[in-house]
Structure 1
Amino acid sequence: MHNSDGVIEVLLQPGDLYFGDRRTRIRTLLGSCVSLVLWHRGERIGGMCHYMLPSRRHPGSRLDGRYADEALHLLLEKIRASGSQPQDYRISLFGGGNMFGELCQRNIGQSNVRAGLELLAAHGLKCHERHAGGDGYRNLIFDVWSGHIALRCPTSQQIATRRYEAPTP
């Protein structure tokens, strides 16, 4: 959806991802899910995914953004299609909150964070910033034109904003 300034506003639901240019703002709401945010300072392009689980037990015929490994693969395809290289991006990881407390013996948020970090490392990519784990949900807004990420964690009464700088070559 375009707003009056010509900015495309994208709301990611679980399993979605989006890669856009300097006219893009991407938003999402995370609980135990995780978002990887990738930003190229020089080109003012970037993307975000919102995955729900580390991987699926039985791979399908099409890649599915609900799973960490497949979501990262899809984002890497978008990066290569743009003519840029993944190592030139500032990468951040957000989410992975424990939404079920002691009701669930398995902390899926923790598993999602671990999967994201391991996948980045397996692709030779560095996570430059992360805000993950804990309890509750996070609101995340990423302005591709500036690399600015606003993060709100209502359960901790914490608001964090960060303007990302380009990775050093």
Structure 2
Amino acid sequence: MASHFHKPDFFIEIFLQPGEFYFGDRDTRIRSLLGSCVAITLWHPRLKIGGMCHYMLTTHHGNKPKTELDGRYADDAMVLFMRELDNSGTWPRDYEVKMFGGGNMFPAHGKIGPISVPENNIHYGRGILIRHGFRIKAGHLGSSGHRNIIFDIWSGNVWVQHVAKS
């Protein structure tokens, strides 16, 4: 039986830096490199659309007035995702959701407070997804070191290379 998830002859490849967000169609591959940051991927299996965010922190804590969305923060990244769902007429339940990252980049230093930045990023990301009606299908979170992530929107596959740090 032939797979309906074939690699397109031509595809756009996007590399997300920390704080960036991208939502595209079946002709797109999204890559990123994660340390303590977290990436969330959303994929719509029927429409072959989806996206990825690469957030660094959970929420915007600043004295300056917030005038635009900032993908460095999980709460803003979720607003960006929800706008894409609104634009495409889709619902959170329609998507396969995966989470990656939250690695401890300095395991030898120990924990400074009750919860580390990577742990906070993971916990907050899971919570915000659930509050918006998403169900997390898979992920690779925590531990130490960094991860290379490749998300093929044509298939929904996410490839992970984890390099642990001691």
Unaligned runs of 5+ in 2: 1-7
3-state DSSP class of the match of 2:47?
coil
Residue in structure 1 matching 2:152, options 138, 143, 146: 143
For the pair 1:40 / 2:44, whether they are aligned, the reply is yes
* Alpha-carbon shift at residue 80 of structure 1 (Å): 1.4
Please list, as runs of the form range in 1=range in 2, the aligned pairs for 1:77-96 lying within 5 A after superposition: 77-96=83-102
Count of aligned pairs between the two proteins: 153
Please list, as runs of the form range in 1=range in 2, the aligned pairs for 1:48-87 lying within 5 A after superposition: 48-58=52-62, 60-87=66-93
3-state DSSP class of the match of 1:81?
helix
Query: 1:113 maps to what in 2?
Result: 122
Moved more, 95-104 or 111-120: 95-104
Output one character per residue of 1:133-160: Cα deviation in whole Å (capped at 9) or x when no partner: 000000000000011111000227xxxx
* Alpha-carbon shift at residue 103 of structure 1 (Å): 5.6
Cα contact 1:80–1:86 (8 A) shared by 2: no
Q: Comparing both chains, which one has the higher relative contact order based on Cα–Cα distances under 8 Å and sequence gaps of 6 or more? A: 2
Cα contact 2:143–2:164 (8 A) shared by 1: no
Q: In 2, distance between residues paired with 1:100 and 1:61?
A: 34
Query: 1:15 maps to what in 2?
Result: 19
Q: Which runs of 4+ in 1 moved over 3 A?
A: none
Q: In 2, distance between residues paired with 1:141 and 1:28?
A: 7
3-state DSSP class of the match of 2:58?
coil
The residue type equivalent to 1:78 in the other structure is E
RMSD of aligned alpha carbons: 1.6
Unaligned runs of 5+ in 1: 157-169
Residue in structure 2 matching 1:25, options 29, 34, 39: 29
Q: In 1, distance between residues paired with 2:143 and 2:164?
A: 10
Could you state the TM-score of these two structures normalised by the residue count of structure 2? 0.87
Please list, as runs of the form range in 1=range in 2, the aligned pairs for 1:89-104 lying within 5 A after superposition: 89-101=95-107, 102=109
Moved more, 82-91 or 143-152: 82-91
Please list, as runs of the form range in 1=range in 2, the aligned pairs for 1:120-159 lying within 5 A after superposition: 120-155=129-164
* Alpha-carbon shift at residue 75 of structure 1 (Å): 1.1
Could you state the TM-score of these two structures normalised by the residue count of structure 1? 0.86
Identity %: 47
* Alpha-carbon shift at residue 117 of structure 1 (Å): 0.5
